[in-house]
Structure 1
Amino acid sequence: MRSALSFTPPDLQEARLDTVRRRFVFYVPGYDPEARTRYRLLFVREWARYAKRFGGGGRAISRADLSEDGLVQSWTVTAPEQGEGAETRYDVLLWDDIVAADFARSRFLSVALLVAGTLHAILLGLLFRFYRLNWKYGNVILYPFVMVILLTALSAVIAVVVHAHLGNAFGHSLGLPLWVSLPLGVAAGLVWIKAIEAFLNRVFFWQLLNDWVFNWQHGQGWRPDYERRLDAFAGHILSRLAARSAAGETADEVMIVGHSSGGLTAVEVAARVLARDAEIGTSGASLSLATLGSGLPLVAMQPAAVRLRSEIARLVTERRLVWCDFHAPQDWMNFPGFNPLHDLDLGLGGAPVANPLIRSARFRDLLCPETYRRVRFRPFRMHFQFLLANERPGAYDFFAMTLGPQRLREQVLAPAACPEREPALPL
């Protein structure tokens, strides 16, 4: 983990201090096969907790609508009845069908891809670079590979024991011929893996295995299905903005937000939006990009990910948007201190650096001590803290960022802290 957890680019876009009254948020979930059922419920639940702790001004959340193509789930949060805050249109950009397809493929194929991807990362020295950035995430990446070795060894032991007891190896009475006992032994060695499927899901084995395989494949340029979805997302954002503008419902801020693997997706979508529309971000609505607990280095550091590094280089020098990358040292599954300017070869050639603003979310300060002690060794719970309601006021505030009156740049550089009050007990 790096010591420099914050960075402010020297050529950051100038401040816009006028109040945000309407905001369009395009949220990209991470690598999650249940995104269309998870994030609406999560938002509503956590907003209720946030409003109870800090006051919500009587906002209402509309019902969720799913687009005809099934790629976008949308709802609206009204402006507060009292106090300042923006009316927010919230669109969740869904790619959980792609993730679900990965989960549905042959387990043998998934394991083979994991082994190939992990060995490839080790041979290239990538895994060691990941460990230098964050040893916790290095362990998370290596975890499914180690599990595969252990499960294979245990399966082999079970197969040998079953074969020995069914055949003549130790003179047992069953004395089945080799052509019977050996296949039965192999079958027993495989069946027990299926029997512990629920346990493997509880310890996130398949989730982390498929996640790493996806990132490796994407870095190698082997995910055309995902590339097509990126284009569809960029098209949706531009068409949504055009339709709202035609209806006289222009926004003060357009914000693209990505969490976890969705942070990578948000970067790629933002680059496509800027490439397609030469006017966006130059007048009218400001364009903001927020990446939360991103795993961007998993793909960007792969030698074959030339296109992605080119897109990052464009965003780093682009003054039409403000990009803020939030990380947290307490989160196992992000890279605190990662800075694309220092850790990637972007070939900027001395071009002015306008992005990204890098900040720590400082989870330890946002949570009550008893909550922090309870969740500090639960990687997924800590990883999702980026999307959860604070228990204490802090500079990082997901709901102030997406529903508040300040633009992202001002929220980061001069945050308007939540009203001071005694932190409530965790709900």
Structure 2
Amino acid sequence: MPPLDYTPPGLADATPGAVHRRQVFYIPGYDPEGRSRYRMLFVRELSRCAKRFGLPKPRIGPATLRPDGLVQSWSVAAEPAWGRAHTEYDVLLWDDIVARDFGRSRFLSAGLLVLGTLHVILAGLIVRFYRLNWKYGNVILYPFVLLLALGLGTTIIAGVVHAHLGDGFGHSLGWPLWATVPLGLLVGLGWIKAIEALLNRAFFWQLLNDWVFNWQYGQGWRPDYAIRLDAFADHVLARLAARTAEEPPIDEVMLVGHSSGAMTAVEVAARVLARDPNLGTGATNFALVTLGSGMPLVALQPRATRLRGEIAGLCSSRRLVWVDYQAPQDWMNFPGFNPVRDLNLDLGDRPVANPLVRSARFRDIISPETYRRVRWRPFRMHFQFLMANDRHGAYDFFAMTLGPQRLRERVLHPDLAPGAPALSAPEATA
């Protein structure tokens, strides 16, 4: 694996000054329950963080949902004694799009999975995925292999039913072929329905639909998602423009994306910068954070030219700081991935300014007991990016999004963290 941490050469040093007010736009991954899951996760894990490190109980405002269902908002009050900034938190939702994917015919989803998987195999993309992270390569092929196993099981069950009911066997009932074949298939499909709960616990449909979505979007076949990206950019710009001169200025605007939402955050950031030429040029920092990103699943596809162009623009832009946090222990990201190198981006004569690549160092921030318990639970490990640390560490989701340090300073000088809650509080037991 290539070295994980990377800092672009000649990167400007951190902007001085503490963050007193921050606006966070958070984009979840491919999840049909985004509007309920992430509020609950945020409240639970921030409360655990406070308890674990001896901090005051967090004052989290009530959640409000925009009438169109696209934005869920709340606030977190400042804690001056601990250096915590006042934070407005907006979750940009696309779980309705995911829910529609889950609601389509299972036969259609299975057919799309076969087409998408065969396409990346024949195009040689699966080899590139495996080279970047063999674990994620296994995650991609897992639903395809399991689908083949389910098809084989259905065929065997249908054959047994035909053998016992059809003609030509001494112990059979002599039913005609036109009756035994459909009945056998129904029994075989009924077996799949009977183990539906088991398939859900194994994340079969989640991973199947997730991979199909990434493949479809890479082919340019998801206009519903492309429209949502523009709606998200509209909201970010409107939210910032709505602030009045009487309100305290925002020190940092932070766009955070996790998992598939990391790709979304990248595209929204590119749209926002293109439409607001002043953002990131004044006292307000513009920060992009991608956590456990699966972006190569789309960006490596030949037809994803617009996405690669947007990534190239961000990689050379000095109007934002982009930090990509990765974790070798996470099965569903690409540790060591660097878009400038691995996407063969053409920046012309523009110097590389982004992204800063950092390891979340899960082994350092998770206790040994927790690590042993979750190391073989891919989804639990994948969500560690959003959860409270067991131990102090350079990566801390809540110190990053609620603390007084600007993102660039936090990444370039992780040992400083003046007044940051998770780095200044007394050490606590996990």
- Give TM-score scaled by structure 2 length: 0.96
Pairing 1:49–2:42 present: no
Q: Distance in 2 between matches of 1:232 and 1:209?
A: 26
8 A Cα contact 1:292 1:327, kept in partner: yes
Gaps of 5+ in 1: none
**Within 5 A, what are the aligned runs for 1:207-226?**
207-226=206-225
**Within 5 A, what are the aligned runs for 1:28-47?**
28-47=27-46
State the secondary structure of the residue aligned to 1:26. Answer: strand
8 A Cα contact 2:288 2:321, kept in partner: yes
Q: Distance in 2 between matches of 1:59 and 1:140?
A: 37
Cα drift, residue 420 of structure 1? 6.0
1:299 maps to 298
Q: Distance in 2 between matches of 1:11 and 1:286?
A: 19
2:169 maps to 170
State the secondary structure of the residue aligned to 2:424. Answer: coil
Cα drift, residue 50 of structure 1? 0.3
Q: Distance in 2 between matches of 1:230 and 1:119?
A: 28
Q: Distance in 1 between matches of 2:283 and 2:296?
A: 33
**Within 5 A, what are the aligned runs for 1:97-112?**
97-112=96-111
1:253 maps to 252
State the secondary structure of the residue aligned to 2:266. Answer: helix
Gaps of 5+ in 2: none
1:93 maps to 92
8 A Cα contact 1:25 1:257, kept in partner: yes
State the secondary structure of the residue aligned to 2:423. Answer: coil
Cα drift, residue 383 of structure 1? 0.2
8 A Cα contact 1:54 1:419, kept in partner: no
Deviation track 1:4-26 (CA, whole Å, cap 9, x = no partner) reads 10110124344212010000000
After superposing the two structures, state which structure 1 stretch, 167-176 or 230-239, moved more: 167-176
Cα drift, residue 297 of structure 1? 0.4
2:179 maps to 180
1:148 maps to 147
State the secondary structure of the residue aligned to 2:325. Answer: strand
After superposing the two structures, state which structure 1 stretch, 395-404 or 76-85, moved more: 76-85
1:362 maps to 361
State the secondary structure of the residue aligned to 1:48. Answer: helix
1:238 maps to 237
1:410 maps to 409
Q: Distance in 1 between matches of 2:382 and 2:164?
A: 47
The amino acid of 2:318's aligned partner reads: R
2:25 maps to 26
2:261 maps to 262
1:338 maps to 337
Cα drift, residue 249 of structure 1? 4.0
Deviation track 1:231-261 (CA, whole Å, cap 9, x = no partner) reads 0000000000111245524310000000000
1:131 maps to 130
Cα drift, residue 300 of structure 1? 0.4
Q: Distance in 2 between matches of 1:296 and 1:173?
A: 55
2:424 maps to 419
The amino acid of 2:339's aligned partner reads: P
Q: Distance in 2 between matches of 1:355 and 1:169?
A: 70
Q: Distance in 2 between matches of 1:169 and 1:370?
A: 61
Q: Distance in 1 between matches of 2:427 and 2:157?
A: 57
Q: Distance in 1 between matches of 2:168 and 2:249?
A: 79
Give the 3 Å change call, closer, same or farther, for CA 114–246 of structure 1 in structure 2.
farther
Cα drift, residue 194 of structure 1? 1.2
Q: Distance in 2 between matches of 1:51 and 1:326?
A: 23
Q: Distance in 1 between matches of 2:427 and 2:347?
A: 47
State the secondary structure of the residue aligned to 2:243. Answer: helix
Superposed CA RMSD in Å reads 1.2
Cα drift, residue 197 of structure 1? 0.9
State the secondary structure of the residue aligned to 1:262. Answer: helix
Deviation track 1:294-318 (CA, whole Å, cap 9, x = no partner) reads 0010000000000000000000000
1:5 maps to 4
State the secondary structure of the residue aligned to 1:82. Answer: helix
Cα drift, residue 102 of structure 1? 0.3
Cα drift, residue 57 of structure 1? 3.8
Q: Distance in 2 between matches of 1:64 and 1:25?
A: 14
Q: Percent identity?
A: 69
Q: Distance in 2 between matches of 1:17 and 1:349?
A: 31
State the secondary structure of the residue aligned to 1:89. Answer: strand
After superposing the two structures, state which structure 1 stretch, 171-180 or 86-95, moved more: 171-180
The amino acid of 2:404's aligned partner reads: P
Q: Distance in 1 between matches of 2:203 and 2:404?
A: 38
1:72 maps to 71
2:199 maps to 200
Q: Distance in 1 between matches of 2:324 and 2:340?
A: 13
8 A Cα contact 2:286 2:321, kept in partner: yes
The amino acid of 1:311's aligned partner reads: E
Q: Distance in 2 between matches of 1:127 and 1:311?
A: 23
Question: Number of residue pairs matched?
Answer: 424
- Give TM-score scaled by structure 1 length: 0.97
The amino acid of 2:429's aligned partner reads: A
Pairing 1:328–2:333 present: no
8 A Cα contact 1:58 1:82, kept in partner: no
